[in-house]
Amino acid sequence: MATFLRTPETMRKYAEERVLVAGQRQGHCVLCEEEPIEKFIYWKIIPNKFPYDQIATQNDMLVPLRHAVGDELSREEKDEFENLKRVYVREKYDSMMENTPRTMTKPSHFHIHLLKLKRS
């Protein structure tokens, strides 16, 4: 897990939440249940409760409305994703980041991190 992307305080809160969710809410997907900031036909943008605040001033996530992993996305979902990248994401964020299976903490629901990067 890329712990260097979060501040120690955010990392501590994240670790506590993972224990709580694992212990009390099996079969529960926090990405499915999170209220959107913005909603599209097949996708929504949600805030990341545990942002990569070491490198970003804002960290939202783009997730399909349907609970799916990346290789399960339909042609329509993929098309809208590409359009969102070209138009919406480009205008509102600095960078997109997708974790590999080796570092994913939510591998059962596809998501992309949308970042507004800190400037030095």
Residue 107 has pLDDT above 70, yes or no: no
Q: State the DSSP H helix or E strand holding residue 91, giving kind and residue range, or none if neither.
A: helix 90-92
* Digit-coded pLDDT (tens) for 21-43: 554 456 678 889 899 999 999 99
Residue 89: predicted pLDDT:
95
Residue 2: predicted pLDDT:
58
pTM given for the model: 0.84
**Dist CA 101 CA 85 (whole Å):** 22
Domain count, the chain: 1
Task: Over range 36-64, report the average pLDDT.
Answer: 96
The Cβ-side half-sphere exposure at 77, using a 13 Å CA radius, reads 18
> Count of CB atoms within 10 A of residue 34's CB?
16
Parent domain of 35: 3-117
| CATH code of 54's domain | 3.30.428.10
